[in-house]
Structure 1
Amino acid sequence: MTDIAKLTGVSQSTVSLVLNNATGAKFSEATRSKVLKAAADLGYRLSTRDAVQPSKDERSLIVYIADEISTSPHPVVNIDGARDAAYAHGKMLAVYSTHGNADIEQQVLEAALSSSNVFGVIYATVYTRKVSPPAALSQVPTVLLNCYTSEGGFSSVVPAEVAGGHVATEYLLRAGHRRIGYINGEHWQDAAKDRLKGYRTALATADLPFAQEMVRDGDWSSGTGFEHTLSLMRESSPPTAIFCANDLMALGAIEALKQLGLRVPEDVSVLGYDDQEIARHTHPPLSTVVLPNYELGRWAVETLLQDEHNRAAGAPVRHRMVKLDGPLVERASVRVITEENSPAVNIISD
């Protein structure tokens, strides 16, 4: 779906709706035809989907418990992946949002788990972190999504953030950049710490020193992307490329560079992270690393189903933590530089 979205310029969610022949979806026939043609041109085989027959297992309901859904665009795409995987196996997905409230969470679990048709639980968090799952989850098959425990006991799936930070930085290095600024998210969060680790690892692999003056801690907002870019460009040796730990901060970075009279990517390259919908509509369109939200949701449900299949067959269930990579999407915000076309940027102001 990422390949097709990149080729057609539509969102990954639209690709999903088209390929799943969703009814009631609000997109034009031209968009549908464009997506299907791109899929065929890329070599994907599209088969007609028959209606999924109801599962013979009376436990047909998968309960999806999330601390937040509306505060970020990411949880909804997690749910899309989980829903599609559940439906493909004749299961239904029931989604509950608890707002991180322990009392609400307990009430949801008491109500949901009292039903005899519950197959299992997906327990999800809006940002990657270590959790202490409710005790009730030990009584029902459960997979953790975007979170994990230190003790084990549950399979879990999280984004491969170190790998993502490494891929992004390595991409800029291969494009010829040697002074790479990095605007991070909130430093206490797992995603921010791991993306920074990937950035540092890529520099070390290229035999480049880590320069603390090239790093700023932000808060994931476009405003900090804007302010920190102005700050980075005031360095005596400013960066030729800026890697932002999410797309919103990259949007702020692009706006700050324009205010300074600099062109993206001719003078300074900008790279984002997440591949939010807005990344396709910036000027220029933003190169970014995909956060594999849809795949996280699918993996969680498919693992829940596989674990139960193994358990029913008498095979051991091995709980594991899996980190899923996301690809880098090249658009137009990064320039390949050489000695001949290296930008000579020297922005110093009070």
Structure 2
Amino acid sequence: MTDVAKAAGVSQSTVSMVLNNMSGARLSDTTRAKVLSVAVELGYRLPRRESADIAPRSAEAPGPRRNLIGYLVDEISTSPHPVVSVDGARDAAWEHDCVVSVCVTRSNADQEAAAIAALKAHPQLLGVVYSTIFTRAATLPEALRDVPTVLLNCHDEHSKLPTIVPGEVAGGHAGTDHLIAAGHSRIGFINGEPWMEAAKDRLKGYRRALATADLPFDPALVRDGDWMSGGGFDGTLALMALPRPPTAIFCANDLMALGALEALAQLGKKVPADVSVLGYDDQEISRHTHPPLTTMVLPNYEMGRAAVEALLAEAALAPEQRGSRRSLIKIDCPLVERETVKRR
């Protein structure tokens, strides 16, 4: 999906809508034709949907075919990331003749309890994807203990439920390693809010990549940001004011990378000729910077798909077998190479 989107110059959501032939999507014939042409060139084949006769059933007693997947999430409107995970879950569910019902709880215990009760009362409920907007520890509600459930972007150390999270440490490592392979040995790192798991893990990956390459870790090259472009701008100005400024800057998200690009332009530095810049998330804006931003993908779409696939497998088990062994699945954060990193 990422490869097709990159080659066609569109978003992953657009690719999904075209390849799933969604008639309600407002896409031009030209866009549809371009996506299909690129998909064919790259050898992409959409999995064939099974017929409704063999759609998933629960392992419990026979009854109405269970094809409703509940999707509980604490927030969805303040970030683009959870929406893309919903897209992945919806597409995977549809391929298995299931539909997804999304409930946004805003971390309100009463709303969450009401949503769970409504889902459990539905005779066609197959199971629940329990998700959070930010990767964090979560406590599974007791009301879901008797329902097939998968944790998405969160984890509960006291449960043995299938758990889907992004491979953030590996992503931080891969991004830093890409800059090292391009000949950079003095690499600045502008992190997000340090209390967040994503920030901690991306920094951990950065440090591990330096250690693997036998490069010293210099705390002066690390700045804590706030995930916003202003944090990237200020962090870049601070890094470039050092007696030995970095030749590359790794920003822990794309918005901060935008701020870094702006700061470097203000300083009269050319990207990537003078300083290389690497982002993280692969948000839509990263395709339209000048030059286009090299970045790491936060695999929200793939995580949503993986959550549904894990839920289907969990629901197929006998009730006494569910939750017998914790399955932690970390989804890779691949590199999207564009034009802001140059070999020295």
TM-score by length of 1: 0.92
Offset of 1:318 from its aligned partner?
3.0
Deviations 1:254-310, CA, capped at 9 Å, x for gaps:
001001111111111100000000000011100000011011011111111112223
- Residue type of the partner of 2:204? K
Q: 2:283 aligns with which of 276, 281, 286?
A: 276
Partner of 2:103: helix, strand, or coil? strand
In 2, Cα distance between equivalents of 1:303 and 1:46: 19
Paired residues, number: 337
The percent identity for this pair of structures is 59
Q: 2:312 aligns with which of 302, 305, 316?
A: 305
Q: 1:114 aligns with which of 116, 121, 124?
A: 121
- Residue type of the partner of 2:27? F
Q: 2:339 aligns with which of 308, 329, 332?
A: 332
Partner of 2:318: helix, strand, or coil? helix
Q: Which runs of 5+ in 1 are unaligned?
A: 338-350
Spell out the pairing of 1:134-145 with structure 2 (5 A cutoff): 134-145=141-152
Is contact 1:310–1:316 with CA below 8 Å preserved after alignment? no
Deviations 1:25-64, CA, capped at 9 Å, x for gaps:
1222111111111111112245776875684742221110
Q: Is 1:3 equivalent to 2:11 in the alignment?
A: no
Q: Which residue of 2 aligns with 1:21?
A: 21
Is contact 1:311–1:317 with CA below 8 Å preserved after alignment? no
Q: Which residue of 2 aligns with 1:204?
A: 211
Q: Is 1:83 equivalent to 2:95 in the alignment?
A: no
In 1, Cα distance between equivalents of 2:239 and 2:79: 27
Deviations 1:113-137, CA, capped at 9 Å, x for gaps:
1222211110000000011111111
Q: Larger deviation: 38-47 or 146-155?
A: 38-47
Q: Which runs of 5+ in 2 are unaligned?
A: 58-64
Q: Larger deviation: 54-63 or 191-200?
A: 54-63
In 1, Cα distance between equivalents of 2:300 and 2:53: 27
Spell out the pairing of 1:229-244 with structure 2 (5 A cutoff): 229-244=236-251
Partner of 1:139: helix, strand, or coil? coil
- Residue type of the partner of 2:79? S
Q: CA RMSD in A?
A: 1.8
Offset of 1:311 from its aligned partner?
2.6
Is contact 1:66–1:125 with CA below 8 Å preserved after alignment? yes
In 1, Cα distance between equivalents of 2:105 and 2:190: 31
In 1, Cα distance between equivalents of 2:203 and 2:304: 25
Is contact 1:52–1:87 with CA below 8 Å preserved after alignment? no
Partner of 1:257: helix, strand, or coil? helix
Q: Which residue of 2 aligns with 1:257?
A: 264
In 1, Cα distance between equivalents of 2:311 and 2:114: 23
